[in-house]
Structure 1
Amino acid sequence: MMLLFAASSVLSVAVWVFGGRYVGSQVGKDDLWIGVAAVFLLVSGAFGYWAAQRYQRRIDLLHLGLKQAAHGNYAIRLPEEGARSFAAAIREFNELQAALEERVKLIERTGEQQVMREAALNEEAVQEERKRLARDLHDTVSQQLFAIHMSASSLPKLLELNHEKAESVMEQLISMSSMAQKQMRGFIAQLRPLELEGRSLREALDKWFPDYCRQNNLQGVLEWRVKEKLSEAKEHQLFLIIQESMANVVKHAGAQTALLTIAETEHQIIMTLQDDGAGFRADQVKRGSYGLSTMRERASKLGGDASIISKPGSGTRVRVTLPNYSHKGAEERDERE
């Protein structure tokens, strides 16, 4: 900046000196000073504008890099050539990005390994839980059926003695049978084997998502925009998050349609679920509702994040991002080998 200001001053003085020689005898002294001042301002303004544009381009470049990093693109690097006084800042930015990228890759790898270890360790516990649910299913439904049987057995006698009482018992029977049916469906859903077993995430969603939407009177649309094969850990966590999100749509949203999109960028897998339900205000939702903490926990195990955006009357949007450096890392390892 000092050199630029010095250059603009030298140029202004040169114009003053050489211009004064040619026009000094033809104009008055006051007019000459006005001309000199105008030339000085024009030259200084031109140099200032040029300098400002130069520095603004570098500031814009840094801003773009920070914005990309904030959106999870830790692979971006800024060019250091011609950066001049910005070279140190750009170099530190690139070093920070490299460190963050390596850290995210490490979190991704260790997270996937942890998820798979937990899946293996929990398999026996899952089998025990299914047995417990089966016992609960038998006890609960058995009691409901017994109560229905006892009430139904008393109906013929009640119809003869007290018609109004019989109608009341009939209403109770309808209510109890409806409750038993709901309990049965809930237990069956819990006892059903995980839909992802033996399938890829896309294959599981192609089967599970339309069935789930049909059972709950939802118009579901699934968009798959991922070309590369996902790791088993990512597919496992995404499927659980999608199940949690869809359960929230059914329980809370009162929606008619649900759009599920799974897409990829260069270094991220992005899942979004948009419904057209009632929506909500964040300050009116109890802490832990809508399963956001559970979804964030699942996403954070792989170095990702989850968020929910909603507005009363405008539906709800769930967005989950997971880093995706595994495929690139595998290619690099193959090249080194």
Structure 2
Amino acid sequence: MQVEERQGRSCFPAGDGCAGRGGGPAAFIPVEARTRMRNVFHGPAALAEADVVLQAVNVTVWGRWLVLLVVVFLLAYRPGFWYPDQVAHIFLQAPLVVFNGLVHYRLLTRRPVTWRWMLALGILDIALITANVAVRGDFDSLVFVAYYPALVAFSLVFTSPWLGLAWATTAALAYAGVSAGAGPGLDLEMGEEKALLARVAAMYVIVLCICLVVRFERTTRLAALVRERQAQRERIEASQEIHDTTAQTVYMIRLGIDVALSLAGRSNPQLAERLAATSALSKSALWELRRPIDMGDIVEGKELRRVLGSHTETFAQVTSVPAEFVHSGDEPPLTQETKSGLFSIAHNALANAFLHAQADRVEVRLDFGDGQILLSVSDDGVGLPADYAERGRGFRGMQAVAERLGGMLEVETGAPGEGTTVSCVVPRRPDARGD
């Protein structure tokens, strides 16, 4: 189901055209009136994420199929109770089968389903149920029970309490009218009007409860989404501030140390050794500062391959160790958790290659395969000691990240001088807003 983004809000897509968009009769409705109409019809659904609205629509469509299945079973079970005098029951199900099937087809083919489609389905529900009640013509019939799931389906999509109460009133008036006018009508001596009032009251209670619960859940989710986006903006601002201040300062310190090292030359070996160690330490500090800076690109939603490619290039510039980034396959829309986790593993593996491997060359590879993602960082350094898991930089942390992503981490190291390869395989987890 496609969903439009409007000023940070998700709503039903235009499809048939959102109210007031483009030409047609809606163009002659004042903008303020159209806005109020959209707010009433959409409610929190307009504020919910696309996957939330999609799930609600899917539930209502499958719910109708389930109700139709129950109807078919009841018609087939002991048909003597309705056949042949009330054959119309069979034909009254056909419009709902056709229309619900059409909406289901649009969902399966990822075509837009607007609020108008769902409103039309709701109207069809009430009309067909009322027609079935009229055909039955018996107040004691249980056909009226179908009003309740129909009202639930409407309230799951349109969560405005006012609209829900208005819809319950529509259903109540339709049911009361057909109950009083069809067949023998209401038997006041038997107190059937009390039963009618109880059934109508149940409609209002169901609609109000569903609307309030769903509205609360979607509002809470929206508030969490707003907080998450605010935190993302703060992380982006922090990464930019680090880039403009601390990272620049550390870079200038490193340049100063390198100049001092060149001036010291061989005249003072002890000073040169100290300066060389300090220079390496400044490179390590500068590399660590690149982590939050480049992580900001992940938060901004950039592709993982682009972020890792830039990060690898920065590694070569900061550490003076030649590094190459290689990737294959098409990158699908990934969750931020997946991208952040793989980025963290790559960063720590590169840090290990610089601090411990004494490598002359590093290669970062990212492969998007069928159902999985392979990340590997290889160097031609001195290899790892047998107890690298205890001595190395963040190996347990990298393992924990891989497991959290549902994958595994593997470290291959040969004899001294044969280098090390850190590999991580995780399943492809597409973003819910992606494919």
TM-score by length of 1: 0.44
Larger RCO, structures 1/2 (Cα 8 Å, 6+ apart): 1
Larger Rg: 1
TM-score by length of 2: 0.35
